[in-house]
Structure 1
């Protein structure tokens, strides 16, 4: 099956987490499999190891790694500076693999680890078979980190893990085969832990094992998760949970989250440990054919010492679910398409969504909700106000084309959007007399 890749960035979306494009103004150094760490590091006299380069360079330097396989762990502790990033990059047009075969990492370590350093870019590598994390950012207070254009495969734990950092960009990476530990580690495929300011975009995440695909957790705030193509494991494609901390201002938009097995969910906002999450905007996403719910507000907190008992603790407030297309989720028969299961949640708005042919209820809620102008196709559950029913008349849903046809009842039936003023393709809303319902404007 072919699914369209997300490409457009809504111009109306604020950019609280954007990291300036890295600039390297210093000398260029080279690493090659036939080099020597006693060399000068020039193109004609390259170093042998990436680690030697990391131990040598200064702010503004560029490290080009030539094609080949490097069986080493790389730890980066030297920082760049504003306008003078340290950039580690595969040489253009060459394939560079950093292979963890036979390298035993301790827990909470990465095959590539940025340890307390800032103003760093990692670009273009194949990061393979890490015995813990593929690429890790942690230690101290790292900031202004750009992880882009990497292929990460076979990590025991997370493919990418970022902790207690700020101004983080994770862009155009492919993460697959991660979390080989299964239930043996608590991290996710892409984990953001207490991160302030993040931009996770244009990534392909698929064929991983038994955990959330992207998790912004434990206070991770002021960030965006967008234009990713995610095939979940038997868990959520995008998950947000403050645990015991305070978390706010996260936008999740223009993602494709599809064809997850078992108990996979598309997008979930939840409380697990009594914390607070608020000001979350979920819009213009395509969420289809996942095993469980499409979009869900939920709770998973354990009560006291009894891990088998769920309790209502924590705060979920001001959640906007707008202009999404949610189709044929919940094959295992849990709840349905768009669900609010948390009775203490407040100010949840569910508006202008197409919710079609999900098993169970299309929309089902408890708590404080505003539900309006949704197109409901299938068993209704909760309808709200100004809803319409009937087939949305997608162009070709079996091939992942959820544009609407000219005869769709979704046309001109939406409420004025709070944030989704362009559609999934970047087309301005409205195109006709009024706003359309769903991720696409006709």
Structure 2
């Protein structure tokens, strides 16, 4: 009897094992079928129109009315197409696509759908369009506007990406009149496009391209912001203008993420953008009233490439600066940019004296063309310079730049503060049509080029040589074929593969000074 009992239990154990094995096999098979269904189902297209109805089937003949309802129906690979008209709706993506099968929300060809926040309140940090912890999403061709508040604690965003999102494309949208119009003393922040990595997993592989961003009241915030735990991103070919504060900001140290190790953006590219009329004096924030805004601002981020951008008629051109202790702007490259006609400095490195100690470390400023910046005196009553270094500058390289100073200012490089070390200067071209020439090193001013060389260690630079722009008066800063800037720079392996115009960066093994390489 005991033997039969053991046999029965043994048989039960075998049967149970078989059931578990086949059960797990079936579950695995179901999961694979589900994955296959997501990947292999034929893509559907749903249409939305202002005169549609959510009881329709979403076809072009019978469109839905609500964007959110259409998105709730979409699966990986599907597209939601918006017909022209104004949609007063806060839009939030409810689900993700899968590998290489995006969920797409975009405009009907030739029509302009407008997503408006007219009449909506803003609660906390909130987007008119929100992508939160979703992946494989495309947002294309929409007009996003009229999301406004006066509530001090509220932060309106036109397009908000947060959480652990990845593989996001934000393309060819027009974002304007996203506004915080409250009292600056109680807080005043807004963003046109805001990518904030506030999760323990990074936001990855975000592309923000070919958008038009203008006429936003962002207060102390920025028009296009990448902040916190964000990596492997690209911001390119955007036009940003008429802003009361920073055009593009890539940041760290602003409590975007509670974990200090995660709290800065990294490994990104800011390229081929055009930025103009970023003017802090147009807004009510006191700190910006004296033209304190910056066109492209890398603030406490690391390993960012800033290349082939055109920044003009703004307060300051490009800043690789840090406002936060323990978050230096580090290992960044500013190359092949045109920066001209700024109210203050063209390119800015360092930290803020008596404010923070983050500074700028291990960065390259190479092959840029700076022209006629410093329209007015800076807040300290001094000319900030075509290139300015303040506190906390260590191990930076400034080479192969054309610095064409305004005739009535004549300040080329201004190392405004003593301190920092191992900052290398060389192979630049300094020119002005005026009689004033000035450099500053460790807070000491030099009017004589040889004295400047002795103080700074500048090597192989040209002084008093006209770079021969094609048409400086019209801001065509290309080089004429006879320019002495051609072929006399120093190759440093940080200059990139193309010049501002997309031509090969070197010619016959030589490199020119400035952002333009002449190829004829």
Q: Deviations over 1:129-187 (max 9, x none)?
A: 1122111112x2111111000011100121101110221110000000112x53xxx42
1:314 corresponds, among 358, 375, 381, to: 358
1:204 corresponds, among 239, 262, 265, to: 239
Distance 1:47 1:90 in 2: 14
Please list, as runs of the form range in 1=range in 2, the aligned pairs for 1:76-91 lying within 5 A after superposition.
76-91=93-108
1:353 aligns with 2:391: no
1:401 aligns with 2:476: yes
Residue in 2 that maps onto 1:291? 343
* Paired residues of 1:24 and 1:86 also in contact (CA < 8 A): no
Moved more, 431-440 or 365-374: 431-440
Residue in 1 that maps onto 2:84? 67
Report the TM-score when normalising by structure 2.
0.74
Q: Deviations over 1:193-215 (max 9, x none)?
A: 11112100000000122x11100
**Change in 2 beyond 3 A, CA 1:25/1:197:** farther
Please list, as runs of the form range in 1=range in 2, the aligned pairs for 1:53-202 lying within 5 A after superposition.
53-131=70-148, 132-138=156-162, 140-156=163-179, 157-164=190-197, 165-179=203-217, 182=219, 186-194=220-228, 195-202=230-237
* Paired residues of 1:330 and 1:360 also in contact (CA < 8 A): no
Residue in 2 that maps onto 1:268? 319
1:255 corresponds, among 287, 304, 309, to: 309
Please list, as runs of the form range in 1=range in 2, the aligned pairs for 1:406-417 lying within 5 A after superposition.
406-417=481-492
Distance 1:115 1:90 in 2: 21
* Paired residues of 2:129 and 2:159 also in contact (CA < 8 A): yes
Distance 1:335 1:439 in 2: 22
* Paired residues of 2:351 and 2:360 also in contact (CA < 8 A): no
**Secondary structure of the corresponding residue to residue 216 of structure 1:** strand
The CA deviation at 1:411 is 1.7
**Secondary structure of the corresponding residue to residue 92 of structure 2:** strand
Q: Which has the higher contact order (CA 8 A, sep 6+)?
A: 1
Distance 1:228 1:24 in 2: 38
2:67 corresponds, among 47, 50, 63, to: 50
The CA deviation at 1:406 is 2.3
**Secondary structure of the corresponding residue to residue 52 of structure 1:** helix
More helix by share: 2
Q: Deviations over 1:341-397 (max 9, x none)?
A: 12x321110010000024352112353311110000132415511010222110012
1:327 corresponds, among 371, 378, 382, to: 371
**Change in 2 beyond 3 A, CA 1:417/1:403:** farther
Contiguous gaps of at least 5 residues in structure 2: 1-39, 149-155, 180-189, 198-202, 253-263, 281-292, 378-382, 440-451
1:438 aligns with 2:514: yes
**Secondary structure of the corresponding residue to residue 398 of structure 1:** helix
* Paired residues of 1:118 and 1:143 also in contact (CA < 8 A): yes
Residue in 2 that maps onto 1:424? 500
Residue in 2 that maps onto 1:33? 50
Q: Deviations over 1:214-262 (max 9, x none)?
A: 00001111000000000122311111112xxxx32100000000011xx
Q: Deviations over 1:76-106 (max 9, x none)?
A: 1211111111000001111111121112221
Residue in 1 that maps onto 2:279? 233
1:220 aligns with 2:272: no
* Displacement over 6 Å in runs of 4+: none
The CA deviation at 1:25 is 5.8
1:387 aligns with 2:461: yes
Q: Which has the larger radius of gyration?
A: 2
Contiguous gaps of at least 5 residues in structure 1: 1-22, 302-308
Moved more, 216-225 or 380-389: 380-389
Distance 1:51 1:414 in 2: 55
The CA deviation at 1:432 is 5.4
Distance 2:75 2:481 in 1: 58
**Change in 2 beyond 3 A, CA 1:191/1:369:** same
Distance 1:433 1:123 in 2: 41
Residue in 2 that maps onto 1:300? 352
The CA deviation at 1:310 is 2.4
**Change in 2 beyond 3 A, CA 1:70/1:370:** same
* Paired residues of 1:95 and 1:125 also in contact (CA < 8 A): yes
Moved more, 327-336 or 217-226: 327-336
The CA deviation at 1:299 is 1.0
**Change in 2 beyond 3 A, CA 1:429/1:200:** closer
Across the two proteins, how many residue pairs are aligned to each other?
398
**Secondary structure of the corresponding residue to residue 129 of structure 1:** strand
Distance 1:267 1:355 in 2: 14
**Change in 2 beyond 3 A, CA 1:176/1:422:** same
The CA deviation at 1:279 is 1.0
* Paired residues of 1:24 and 1:85 also in contact (CA < 8 A): no
Residue in 2 that maps onto 1:17? none
